[in-house]
């Protein structure tokens, strides 16, 4: 079993749709959680950190369930510019950052 | 430009040759990471440094791979006797262990070095 797993995708949605991505992790010692965005042929960039209480940044909402070792990302009112691969990332103290395989999103006009 | 820079951006080599990649992190960052990424996959961890100390190395990393960060600044990743399976994008990232609010631990990536082994 991979340490971080994500919805396989791709997700093809119309503009304005709401889309949710799911991620599970296996290392119970994980302490920090992130969503990164990677555009085609570009490097990954931090989208948002994920906090235990859940957090929101504009149209993006991230949730964490430590008991189920589950992380989610919700994108509301999706835009064409949201088309990218979304990478779930977990980190345990003193250890490296582990990336999931990513879920590709295409927002269609 | 004060971002992470990698060199070369592209490298084509024949099987069996050695290749070396260089990464210059953001100057105030004390941690430096190497990842490998193939098409359709997420970045796969290779190794990371805190200052000049190599703190962790992936168990998947063969002994043909070696990385150094001699002065705690730039780093090199060398692949000896390259194989076709080594073809990938090699990504370097840096971060700071200093907390900075909500962006604690953010990794800043370079644009990567793409390796093609013929």
pLDDT at B98: 65
pLDDT at B102: 43
String of DSSP letters for A1-17: --SEEE----EEEETT-
> Rounded to a whole number, what is the distance in Å from the CA of A69 to chain B's nearest CA?
19
Question: If chain A, 109 residues long, is cut into consecutive pieces of 10 residues, what is the mean pLDDT of each piece?
Answer: 89 97 94 95 94 92 95 98 97 88 97
pLDDT at B101: 45
Q: For residues B52-81, give the mean pLDDT.
A: 92
Mutation site for B-interface testing, chosen from A32, A43, A50, A104 by largest number of B Cβ within 10 Å: A43
- Give the tokens for residue A76: 């509301």
String of DSSP letters for chain B: --S-EEE-SEEEE-TT--EEEEEE--TT--EEEEEEE-TTS--EEEEEEETTEEEEE-TT--TTEEEE-TTSS-EEEEE-S--GGG-EEEEEEEE-SS-BTBTTT--EE---EEEEE-
Distance of alpha carbon B95 from the chain centroid: 13
- Give the tokens for residue B5: 């820079």
Statement: residue B103 has pLDDT above 80: no
* Cβ proximity of B60 and B82 under 8 Å: no
Closest CA to A46 of A35, A58, A56, A57: A35
Q: pLDDT, tens digit, for every residue of B30-46? A: 999 999 999 989 999 99
For B99, residues 6+ apart whose C-beta sits below 8 A from its C-beta are none
With bands split at pLDDT 50, 70 and 90, how would you rate the model's confidence at B104?
low
Statement: residue B111 has pLDDT above 50: yes
How many whole angstroms separate alpha carbon B8 and alpha carbon B33?
17
* Cβ proximity of B109 and B92 under 8 Å: yes
- Average pLDDT over chain B, rounded to an integer: 91
A72 or B104, higher pLDDT: A72
Taking contacts as CB-CB distances below 8 angstroms, the residues of chain B near A96 are 33, 45, 48, 56
pLDDT at B85: 95
- Give the tokens for residue A34: 């992130």
Taking contacts as CB-CB distances below 8 angstroms, the residues of chain A near B104 are 32, 49
Percent of chain B whose predicted confidence (pLDDT) is above 90: 76
């Amino acid at each position: 079993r991979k340490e971080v797993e994500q919805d396989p995708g791709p997700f093809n949605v119309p503009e304005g749709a709401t889309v949710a991505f799911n991620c599970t992790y296996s290392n119970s010692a994980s302490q920090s959680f992130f969503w990164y965005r990677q555009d085609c042929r570009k490097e990954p960039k931090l989208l948002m950190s994920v906090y235990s209480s859940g957090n929101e940044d504009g149209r993006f909402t991230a949730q964490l369930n430590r008991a189920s070792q589950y992380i989610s990302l919700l994108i509301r009112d999706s835009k064409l510019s949201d088309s990218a691969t979304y990478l779930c990332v977990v980190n345990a103290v003193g250890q490296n950052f582990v990336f999931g395989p990513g879920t590709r999103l295409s927002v269609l006009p | 430009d004060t971002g992470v820079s990698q060199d070369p951006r592209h490298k084509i080599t024949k099987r069996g040759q050695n290749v070396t990649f260089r990464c210059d992190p953001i100057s105030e960052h004390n941690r430096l990471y190497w990842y490998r990424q193939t098409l359709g996959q997420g970045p796969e961890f290779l190794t990371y440094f805190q200052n000049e100390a190599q703190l962790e190395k992936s168990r998947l990393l063969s002994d043909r791979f070696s990385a150094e960060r001699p002065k705690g600044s730039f780093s090199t990743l060398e692949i000896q006797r390259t194989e076709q399976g080594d073809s990938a994008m090699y990504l370097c990232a840096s971060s700071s262990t200093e907390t900075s609010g909500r962006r604690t631990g953010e990794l800043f990536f370079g644009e990567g070095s793409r390796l093609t082994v013929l």
